[in-house]
Structure 1
């Protein structure tokens, strides 16, 4: 068995991060690993005192990093599904967790596909000016410099993507 890792999914809203994280979580639990899933949408519902400005996003991500580190230190595989649009915060996550225990996965699904999948209507609202600070529209997303894995969920089915991740882990 491999040692637990923090697996950090980054990408635009609608890219497939949460779906990948859920499938990967189930696959790891079937292998008898302790798994914690930290999903950005769910965490935001509990931690709703922050908005979506760059500063608030950074604070939110820093909180998630600390939570992921604490759970990883308890021997959990920690799966994080978070837009995490800034290279600096992803770098901080890797440094905090430890490079040998951190796997960055860039879910590089095209913006057009993300917009088609947008069940919450966020992109439509952002394009019409109803919401601000939408990553990929009026808020920047910094593409990872050197992700461990890059996945485009518009080109592979989820099960194939999860197999690719599991092969990398083992």
Structure 2
């Protein structure tokens, strides 16, 4: 096996020391929702608010990751699963670094999101469901993807001919239909403050 001679190397600097230095509780803010739901827009707004509060963050965006780390992956179910697996492992490293990492991915399958949740401690995965009606997403269609999917030009498109499994009990449920971006972002910030992630 390829991994039989690989041994985990422990760091001298611990996660708790990094957390103390950054004065925050690290976590993964996992934004999930349909294409065009507003995941990236809201995640950017949340990160901007956190930056203004002096917090250490990093935003991983679906399209950006596919330009580099996951460039070789397509959109079959198998590739979507591998896409999320890789993102989960990267996000786990950010948490170990004491960072609040925001991820904006459709991540359509419940099992994949739960697999990422299992990579970190129980309170280090915060699922943020950007719940936007399909009709609204299609009306927005910022990248013209729904139009192409309806025309049969994009196979396996989530919400059209590939399923989206909505979160059953997300930590934060943003009903994003005619809601100001700032209000949606503040909902996430309020959760983090209430649960003690942003301690001084």
Per the shorter chain, which TM-score range? over 0.9
Distance in 1 (CA, whole Å) between partners of 2:121 and 2:34 is: 25
1:119 offset after TM fit, Å?
2.0
Match of 1:122 in 2: 145
TM-score, with length taken from structure 1: 0.96
* Cα contact 1:2–1:169 (8 A) shared by 2: no
Q: Do structure 1's residue 3 and structure 2's residue 25 form an aligned pair?
A: yes
1:49 to 72, 92, 105: 72
Give the conservation status (yes or no) of the 8 Å contact 2:24–2:55: no
Write the distance in 1 (CA, Å) between the matches of 2:67 and 2:24.
Answer: 33
- After TM superposition, the structure 1 = structure 2 runs for residues 1-170 of structure 1, keeping only pairs within 5 Å, are 2-46=24-68, 47-170=70-193
In structure 2, the gaps of 5 or more residues are: 1-22, 194-200
Distance, in Å, in 2 between the alignment partners of 1:2 and 1:155 is 32
**Residues 27-66 of structure 1: per-residue CA shift (max 9 Å, x gap):** 1111111111000011112222111011000000000000
* Stretches (4+) displaced over 3 A: none
Q: What secondary structure is seen at the aligned counterpart in 2 of 1:79?
A: strand
Which of these two proteins has the greater Rg computed from alpha carbons?
Answer: 2
**TM-score (normalizing by structure 2):** 0.82
Tell me the CA shift for residue 2 of structure 1. Answer: 4.2
How many residues align? The count is: 170
Instruction: Tell me the secondary structure at the aligned position of residue 142 of structure 2.
Output: coil
Whichever structure has more helix as a proportion of its residues is 1
Residue deviations 1:98-153 (CA, integer Å, cap 9, x gap): 22111001111001111111122111111111110100000000011111111122
